[in-house]
Amino acid sequence: MTTRTAAQRRAESRISYQSRFTACPTNRLLDRIGDKWVAVLLNELAEGPRRYGELAAAIAGASQKMLTETLRHLERDGLVSRTVTPAVPVRVDYALTPLGQSLLPLMRAVTRWADEHAEDIDTANEAYDAARAPEVTDRRRVPLPGR
């Protein structure tokens, strides 16, 4: 039997945890919907199919690269469908799939919770920061007695 060092055991434990974490369906979903532009895109597509240009105009803060990348991830996950219509110029439409539509109630619930509790979180942040802020002290030099 081979003896393992503590560092080897920790490394094996870390690898085991990471593989369980990546395989967890909940973590995979949270990873996807936690991407910066996913919620905004799902919200835009909830209103119906949209052309790429319409999405780009509605989500002005996203670069073309990020918008395209996010749409590809959503398409790969089966949440969004992409339809190319041959024309000049080529027309590309995106729409929520039934799977993507089934995610909307969850997204609405998360949005509602965030709206209801944003102030509570801000208050907690301020209290946390205030409790850990270094005390402001008078930094003037006070002469020692007898000097």
Tens-place pLDDT, residues 68-87: 999 999 999 999 999 998 98
Using CA of residue 12, residue 20, residue 32, residue 85, what is the dihedral sign? Answer: positive
pTM of the model: 0.70
Under a CB-based contact definition with an 8 Å cutoff, are residues 93 and 45 in contact?
no
Tens-place pLDDT, residues 131-147: 987 754 445 555 555 55
Question: How far, CA to CA in Å, does 115 sit from each of 13, 110, 142?
Answer: 39, 9, 50
